[in-house]
């Protein structure tokens, strides 16, 4: 953490040097002394200090300065650092002005020039002010700060991206005092959100995910043009493939469009994963897998969307959305699945403003003592219900069927039964939503009677099945009717080779219709939709990659 700042400001160079020298001599080992030669210059220095998340302990400003006198400077400085102690340097003739400033800018002290000897006239005053400041200092920050509106979809997108990539940040509303001070320091206003301020003081207004990834220290560009294996997708299957590929000496790069972890990474608690009897959160599991892959030398690329795949002789070429490419001997497709959009009137416009897909764990603390509505009857919905029950006054689980037994693990059903705050609504579907700047009401329909009722609701989390989003592979790989990649023995059902297959051998177990391209995890047709099986398929894909490479 940087040392707190003592700022001195005087337009007379000789006086400025003298006061800074005397302050530095006494306090330079504990405080950083910053010197400015004008009011505007001092404010610019304070804005930079604010954006860097540093603290200001004491401000010493000369009264008589052109453009902006000391009182005007201290008054403006209060907007940025209200906890800083304020001292006015003044001549005897300006004593009355200094006394008046006590009421205008809540002046802590005024010092008559000259202040020699400082041991008698300067240091005792500054000692007292530093002691008072230390009792209630400004809040320092060495993490990313995000300023935005409560019901802003772009603000939610920034927070969700940082949270899913395990990047610590501090969330501030525009009407919070500190949020307002950061906006002022960045020269922005409440319409310029989300505002992201990095630990080194860089301010970004409405940044893209690529810009966020760069300032958060995530890798966005590959270090080479060619690899042994490119893993597309950073869920459990992709991370498993990256760990095993890199640990076995393959030049491995994992490419993720948004954040590692996939749907499993959003899980508040996974309790049936081998080796974790007390359960593990998706974020914890993702973090450990990321660190493990990096330890073995895998590259992990963020915010890179793959939009095309083609065969280039013995190589496999992947096209990114920005027009660049990356090549490899083999490819492991582990892109997983995405939640389906709930097609009900009014919900699309409220996405990110009360309507969310997945757990959106960043929103949980905001749901304290409110009702939360969850759509879905599988494990992911049940885990979310348990998580939100720690915050919400009531969690409503909406399911179309008669009960949860057809789609949810029994251990999770038992958990839900033991939590009084969770209410399951069978035979219920959402048919509409309304609200001005955020979700305010839901329309619910009874699937048996057709009756529709309206309920007040500010929070809706949706978990309604999944689809693979493999349109970019159309015409390249064989997919089933729902878009899942067909691989292995399923390609040769009926004794025929897949279209375009020219090799004498049959496809390996996880190999797609394009030799050297493997599918692992939820994106593969007929796969078991479980975290453990996805990790296992990622590892299996690497063993098949070895077999493929050895045969070339």
Per-residue pLDDT tens for 24-74? 999 999 999 999 999 999 999 999 999 999 999 999 999 988 889 998 999
62, 175: one domain: no
pLDDT band for 360, please (50, 70, 90 cuts).
confident
Tell me the per-residue pLDDT of 421-449, one tens digit each, with 9 for 90 and over: 999 999 999 999 999 999 999 999 999 99
For residue 206, what pLDDT is reported? Answer: 95
How large is the average pLDDT for residues 374-399? 95
Give the model's confidence band at 387: pLDDT under 50 very low, under 70 low, under 90 confident, else very high. Answer: very high
Q: Is the pLDDT of residue 180 over 70?
A: yes
Query: Is 70 exceeded by the pLDDT of residue 532?
Result: yes
pLDDT for res 93: 64
Q: Are residues 411 and 518 in the same domain?
A: no
Mean of pLDDT over the chain: 93
Whether 124 and 149 share a structural domain: no
Same structural domain, 9 and 128: yes
Host H or E run for residue 410: helix 410-418
For 280, which DSSP code? B
The dihedrals phi and psi of 198, each to the nearest 5 degrees, come to -85, 165
Q: What is the pLDDT of residue 393?
A: 97
pLDDT score of 137: 67
pLDDT given for residue 511 in this prediction: 98
- Residue that is last in its domain, among 464, 483, 514: 464
Examine the fold and report which residue of 135, 156, 183 is the final residue of a domain before the chain moves on.
135
Q: Give pLDDT tens digits for 463-495.
A: 997 899 999 999 999 999 999 999 999 999 888
What's residue 457's pLDDT?
A: 97
* Same structural domain, 86 and 112: yes
- Spatial contact of 104 and 71, defined as CB atoms under 8 Å apart: yes
CA dihedral of residues 99, 84, 180, 202 (deg, nearest 10): 130
* 308 found inside a domain: yes
**Domains contained in the chain, number:** 4
In this structure, are 23 and 110 located in the same domain?
Answer: yes
* Mean pLDDT confidence for 93-104: 70
Does a structural domain hold residue 221? no
pLDDT of residue 126: 95
**Residue 343, domain member (yes or no):** no
Residue 276 is part of a domain; what is its CATH number? 3.50.50.60
| Burial tier of 300 (Cβ tally within 10 Å: 0-12, 13-18, 19+) | buried
User: Which is it for strands 203-205 and 226-232: parallel, antiparallel or unpaired?
Assistant: unpaired
- Alpha-carbon dihedral sign for residues 133, 139, 142, 147: negative
Question: pLDDT digits over 126-145, tens only?
Answer: 999 999 999 876 666 778 99
Asked if 474 and 521 sit in the same domain, the reply is yes
Q: What is the CATH number of the domain that holds 48?
A: 3.40.50.2300
pLDDT score of 488: 96
Side-chain-side CA neighbours of residue 206 (13 Å): 10
* pLDDT mean over 179-188: 95
Classify residue 86: in a domain, yes or no: yes
What does the pLDDT look like over 238-265, one tens digit per residue? 999 999 999 999 999 999 998 998 888 8
Q: Is residue 248 part of a domain?
A: yes
Same domain, 118 and 47: yes
- Mark whether 328 and 384 lie in a shared domain: no
Residue 422 contacts residue 389 (beta carbons within 8 Å): yes
Q: Tell me the residue length of the chain.
A: 552
Residue at which a domain ends, from 215, 234, 263: 215
Judge if 130 and 187 occupy the same domain. no
Q: Tokens 């508040």 identify what position?
A: 268
The two tokens of residue 323 are: 């027009």
Phi, psi for residue 287 in degrees, rounded to 5: -60, -45
Q: pTM of the full predicted structure?
A: 0.84
Q: Which of 479, 550, 471 is nearest to 514 (CA)?
A: 479
Residues 525 and 486 in one domain: yes
Whether 30 and 72 share a structural domain: yes
Over range 351-360, report the average pLDDT: 92
CATH value at residue 163: 3.40.30.10
Contacts of 324 (CB under 8 A, 6+ apart): none
Position 380 in a domain: yes
> Residue 435's domain spans which residues?
348-464
Q: How many CB atoms lie within 10 A of CB 105?
A: 21
CB 295 within 8 A of CB 242: no
User: Is there a domain that residue 106 lies in?
Assistant: yes
Residue with tokens 């099986």: 533
3-state class of 445 per DSSP? strand
């Amino acid at each position: 953490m940087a040392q707190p700042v003592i700022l001195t400001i005087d337009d007379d160079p000789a006086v400025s040097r003298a006061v800074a020298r005397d302050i530095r001599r006494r306090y330079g080992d504990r405080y950083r002394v910053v010197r400015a030669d004008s009011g505007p210059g001092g404010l610019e220095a304070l804005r930079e200090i604010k954006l860097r998340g540093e603290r200001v302990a004491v401000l010493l400003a000369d009264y008589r300065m052109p453009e902006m006198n000391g009182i005007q400077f201290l008054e403006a400085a209060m907007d940025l650092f209200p906890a800083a102690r304020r001292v006015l340097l003044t001549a005897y003739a300006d004593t009355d002005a200094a006394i008046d400033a006590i009421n205008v800018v809540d002046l802590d002290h005024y010092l008559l020039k000259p202040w020699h000897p400082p041991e008698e006239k300067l240091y005792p005053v500054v000692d007292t002010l530093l002691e008072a400041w230390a009792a209630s200092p400004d809040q320092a920050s060495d993490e990313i700060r995000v300023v935005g509106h409560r019901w802003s979809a772009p603000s939610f997108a920034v927070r969700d991206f940082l949270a899913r990539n395990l990047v610590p940040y501090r969330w501030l509303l525009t009407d919070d005092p500190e949020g307002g001070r950061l906006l002022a320091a960045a020269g922005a206003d409440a319409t310029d959100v989300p505002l992201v301020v990095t630990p080194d003081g860089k301010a970004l207004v409405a940044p893209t995910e690529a810009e966020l990834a760069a300032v958060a220290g995530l890798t966005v560009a590959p270090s080479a043009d060619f690899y042994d294996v490119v893993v597309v997708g950073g869920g459990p299957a992709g991370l498993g493939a990256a760990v095993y590929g890199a640990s076995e000496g393959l030049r491995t790069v994992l490419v993720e469009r948004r954040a590692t972890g996939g749907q499993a990474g959003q899980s508040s608690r996974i309790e049936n994963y081998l080796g974790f009897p007390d359960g593990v959160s998706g974020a914890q599991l993702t973090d450990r897998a990321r660190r493990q892959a990096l330890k073995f030398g895998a590259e992990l690329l963020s915010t890179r969307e793959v939009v095309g795949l083609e065969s280039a002789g013995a190589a496999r070429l992947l096209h990114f959305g920005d027009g660049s490419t990356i090549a490899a001997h083999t490819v492991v497709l582990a892109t997983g699945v995405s939640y389906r959009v709930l097609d009900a009137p009014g919900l699309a416009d409220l996405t990110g403003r009360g309507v969310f897909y997945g757990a959106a764990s960043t929103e949980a603390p905001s749901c304290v003592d409110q009702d939360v509505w969850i759509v879905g009857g599988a494990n992911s919905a049940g885990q979310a219900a348990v998580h939100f029950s720690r915050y919400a006054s009531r969690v409503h689980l909406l399911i179309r069927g008669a009960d949860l037994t057809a789609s949810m693990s029994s251990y999770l059903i038992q958990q839900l039964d033991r939590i009084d705050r969770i209410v399951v609504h069978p035979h219920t579907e959402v048919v509409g939503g309304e609200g001005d700047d955020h979700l305010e009401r839901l329309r619910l329909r009874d699937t048996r009677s057709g009756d529709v009722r309206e309920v007040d609701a500010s929070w809706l989390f949706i978990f309604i099945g999944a689809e693979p989003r493999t349109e970019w592979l159309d015409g390249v790989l064989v997919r089933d009717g729902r878009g899942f990649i067909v691989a292995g023995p399923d390609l040769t059902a009926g004794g025929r080779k897949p279209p375009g297959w020219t090799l004498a051998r049959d496809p390996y177990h996880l190999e797609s219709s394009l030799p050297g391209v493997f599918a692992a995890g939820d994106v593969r047709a007929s796969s078991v939709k479980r975290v453990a099986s996805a990790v296992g398929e990622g590892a299996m894909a690497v063993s098949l990659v070895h077999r493929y490479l050895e045969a070339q």
